[in-house]
Structure 1
Amino acid sequence: MIVHNLSEENSILNQFIAELRDVSVQKDSMRFRRNIERIGEILSYEMSKTLEFSSKKITTPLAEMEVKTHDNNIVLCSVLRAGVPLHNGLLNYFDAAENAFISAYRHHKENPETFEIVVEYLACPDLNNKTLILADPMLATGQSLVATYKALQPFGTAKNLHIFAVIGAKEGVEYLEKHLPKDAHLWIATVDDKLNDKGYIVPGLGDAGDLAFGEKLQN
């Protein structure tokens, strides 16, 4: 897997990451969602440089001219619910893309420190010969993204696979490297050093879904 860690270079991206992490700023859920959306836009722009382009002729009010546009058929697939703001950022740039959504969450058994990934909802178009982008803001253990990738396989074989994430842990990145195709690309805003005993990223930012949309209802 080819890893693109955008925090390794100085850019406005780092400001958005800092605001996502800062407890005094992340209390504003609208700003939290917007920052994830803006990071999605930046990741999309950087990833777009790897797409296939060809020339086509257009007509302006004054003349005809040739421009280069990308030829990829893109499918955006986000992991609900935290993935929604990130998905919106991708759609701002890939506005002609098809869309897929999946719910993949941790189900804790008797031991709160162990869990399995449960997929309950999935809507997806045909993936054959398309460019698939899987989006999930938090790359912790990597198990949710791998489960998502496997759940999508009945819908066809994508030509290219790209993973988009905001914050990840080294352990999660390594897990993806072991379980996803070698030619897959990971586009990530920043990578933290570790996970805690419950599998959450440290220093991380907390629960992205709760910060974006409020605390989950308890059964």
Structure 2
Amino acid sequence: MRLHVADHPLITHKLTVLRDERTPSPVFRQLTEELVTLLAYEATRSVHVSPVEIRTPVTTTTGVRIGEPRPLVVPILRAGLGMLEGMVKLLPTAEVGFLGMARNEVTLEPTTYAERLPEDLSDRQCFVLDPMLATGGSLGAAIEFLFARGAQDVTAICILGAPEGVAAIEKQVGDREVHLVLGALDERLNEKGYIVPGLGDAGDRLYGTV
């Protein structure tokens, strides 16, 4: 597994506003979209491309275009849905699939309640969106789901992560091709499995159901 923690003042600034408990849901959603676009720029550095010859007003030249099969973006419902717009703005030709997962607040284990994905993900680059990497349960289950469908190259984009979650994903995926992109790596998890200092429940703050 490869880990990349973004180090950019714009990302840190936007994260600071996200963390503030006074930030209202509309601002939170807008900043989340902006943050994801910045993180997606880092996450797509190795996106597959193919050469294409074009003609400029001056001469012919060779450039590249996003390769086939097209990348697949998979937000983990519900909070990952708030990241989708920021991702597809940068990668508009990507296809979109969905995974619905919920965390049992007692056992902290994830359960899958919905999925809308291609049956065969062979040779597809998959980009998973999940705002918070806490225990790693939901993200880990999503990654396994994609590999079970034939995926071989998975990139996970998270706004925040905890060391415990990173360690859990690293242990689970082993030497498989997984790239983890974080906006920040926070201190730890508390006794309830929330990231510290974190920003609270991302889904609640995105959609106003605190």
Q: Distance in 1 between matches of 2:46 and 2:112?
A: 31
Q: Distance in 2 between matches of 1:129 and 1:10?
A: 32
Q: CA deviation at 1:61?
A: 5.7
- 2:80 paired residue number: 83
Q: Is 1:165 matched with 2:158?
A: yes
Q: Deviations over 1:55-112 (max 9, x none)?
A: 312244665432223325311111111111212111111111111111111123xxx4
1:207 to 179, 201, 204: 201
Q: CA deviation at 1:22?
A: 1.1
Q: Distance in 2 between matches of 1:32 and 1:60?
A: 41
- 2:146 paired residue number: 152
| Within-5 A mapping of 1:17-166 | 17-24=15-22, 26-27=23-24, 29-60=25-56, 63-71=59-67, 73-108=70-105, 112=106, 114-125=107-118, 126-154=120-148, 156-166=149-159
Q: CA deviation at 1:150?
A: 2.5
Please tell me the root mean square deviation across aligned C-alpha atoms, in Å. Answer: 1.8
| AA matched with 1:13 | I
Q: Distance in 2 between matches of 1:10 and 1:56?
A: 32
Q: Distance in 2 between matches of 1:84 and 1:32?
A: 13
Q: Distance in 1 between matches of 2:59 and 2:78?
A: 46
Q: Deviations over 1:125-156 (max 9, x none)?
A: 231111011110010000001111223344x3
Q: Distance in 2 between matches of 1:163 and 1:181?
A: 15
Contact 1:91 1:97 in 2 (8 A): yes
For structure 2, the residue ranges without an aligned partner over 5 or more in a row are none
Q: Distance in 1 between matches of 2:125 and 2:8?
A: 28
Q: Which runs of 4+ in 1 moved over 3 A?
A: 59-65
Q: Distance in 2 between matches of 1:115 and 1:59?
A: 55
TM-score scaled by length of structure 1: 0.87
| AA matched with 1:203 | P
Aligned residues: 207
Are residues 151 and 158 of structure 1, via their aligned partners in 2, closer, same or farther at CA, if it must alter by over 3 Å?
A: closer
Contact 2:109 2:138 in 1 (8 A): no
For structure 1, the residue ranges without an aligned partner over 5 or more in a row are none
Q: Is 1:192 matched with 2:193?
A: no
Q: CA deviation at 1:32?
A: 0.6
| AA matched with 1:76 | V
Q: Deviations over 1:2-28 (max 9, x none)?
A: 10000xx3431111111100122x22x
Q: Is 1:4 matched with 2:4?
A: yes
| AA matched with 1:84 | L
